[in-house]
Amino acid sequence: MPAFLKGLLLGFSIAAPVGPIGLLCIRRSLAHGRLAGFVSGLGAATADACYGLVAALGLTAITHALVGHRAWLQLGGGIFLLYLGIATLRARPPAAEARVAPAPNLSTAYLTILVLTLTNPMTILSFLGIFAGLGVGASTGGAWPACRLVAGVFLGSATWWLLLGSAAGWLGRRLDHGGLRILNLASGLVIAAFGAWQLLSLARA
């Protein structure tokens, strides 16, 4: 299978499981439209591509540094998730007429998801395991095939976020204020629970 197509399938499959990042993107799509959800998802796709590039090129020094600071990254990510969960619980859904316009601060939406995904060292460990299992990387074909693979990872991940954001945005236009409020409460609780679990697992380590 060509490296680009292989990366495309990997990026899509890695992005597809719905965790706290997915919930945040769904919530933003429901509240502000599919553009907000898609731009948020691009932050996750960018982080996937960055970590995928490190894994594909075999940059062991960067990998060891990230894994060595795993506890601090986990602490920062857990606190960030708690903050986002509480902010989601307190947020008031916009009126129906406000949801037809793009969400404000799209750059902030992108950067928050980018940082949140980068603070999860399990992302690069996942790529290292997958790439090793597939026998791909700079040592097996040079840097150019590895870059094509990572480009496929980014586009595959971005494709998932486009589909998810479009579906959630379509649903958000059909929910009333009460329905959005319930979704805010549910997603806020789950996101905060992810953050609390991350901090508790760090304390028990």
**Do 150 and 49 meet the contact criterion of CB atoms below 8 Å apart?**
yes
Residues 100-141: pLDDT tens digits? 445 557 888 899 889 888 887 666 667 666 666 655 554 445
Total of domains in the chain: 1
Q: What is the pLDDT of residues 160-182, one digit of tens each?
A: 888 888 887 777 666 555 666 67
The pTM of the full predicted model, rounded to 2 decimals, is: 0.69
Phi first, then psi, for residue 95 (nearest 5°) are -65, 160
Name which residue leads in pLDDT, 12 or 173.
Answer: 12
In the numeric block, which tokens belong to residue 19?
A: 């965790």
Distance CA 78, CA 95 (A): 31
The two three-digit tokens of residue 75, written as one number? 């602490």
- Which residues constitute the domain of residue 15? 3-204
